[in-house]
Amino acid sequence: MRRIRYQVACSLDGYIAGPQGDISWIPAEPEIDFGALFAEFDTLLMGRKTFAGLSLTDPEYGQLYAGKELVVVSTTLAAVDYPHVTIINELSRHAIEPLRQRPGKDIWLFGGGELFRHLLELDMVDTIELAITPVLLGGGIPFLPAPGPSRRLTLTEQRWYEHSGMVWLSYQIEPAATSAS
């Protein structure tokens, strides 16, 4: 089964974007090979607000999205208006399970925090992979908005980057049933 991996850059105080949705604080990190990173996934799953901020035609990053299936969760977007995107209007295990069962690479839960919270409640996220950035934003869009579910995590990987000072932490998420014990 394909894994759903929530991979985001996060401030040290737990925000994925500043109060006005600002992400300019995310540093360029020359040691991270974005081509190789994107090649681990063939599907990008995201909430409507993250989709709204995506620059599919960006000269630097646009080609990284090419060939990926974009799956957007939204109660307000109509599939007919986005023929090149898969729109999920009603989030449920039933809606996500076929994506996971389909053969292919892992699914990148691209953001944001709100969608992550709802998928976590459904036990539909396998890993959290955070690029913790050495900045305090003081407020903004949380990586997991409260009230979120409680889950146990297992640290599976840690890396740090000298240039940016970012720390990369990967965790396996225990499902609700085992998190409670």
- List contacts with ligand NAP (CB under 6 A): 8-9, 16-17, 21, 23, 26, 46-50, 53, 73-77, 91, 110-115, 118, 141
Concatenate the DSSP letters of all residues of 68-85 into one string: PEEEEE-SS--GGG-TTS
Residue 55 CB, shortest distance to ligand NAP, in Å, is 11
Maximum CA extent, the chain: 48
Residue 107 CB, shortest distance to ligand NAP, in Å, is 14
Identify the helix (H) or strand (E) that includes residue 100.
helix 93-101
Residue 73 CB, shortest distance to ligand NAP, in Å, is 4
Residue placing its CB nearer to ligand NAP in the complex, 109 or 173: 109
In 3D space, the residue among 1, 8, 2, 13 whose CA is nearest the CA of residue 117 turns out to be: 8
Residue 58 CB, shortest distance to ligand NAP, in Å, is 13
Q: Which residue is nearest to ligand NAP (CB)?
A: 112
Residue placing its CB nearer to ligand NAP in the complex, 17 or 173: 17
Any bridge partners for residue 109, and if so which?
6, 45
Q: Do residues 48 and 77 make contact, with C-beta atoms less than 8 angstroms apart? A: yes
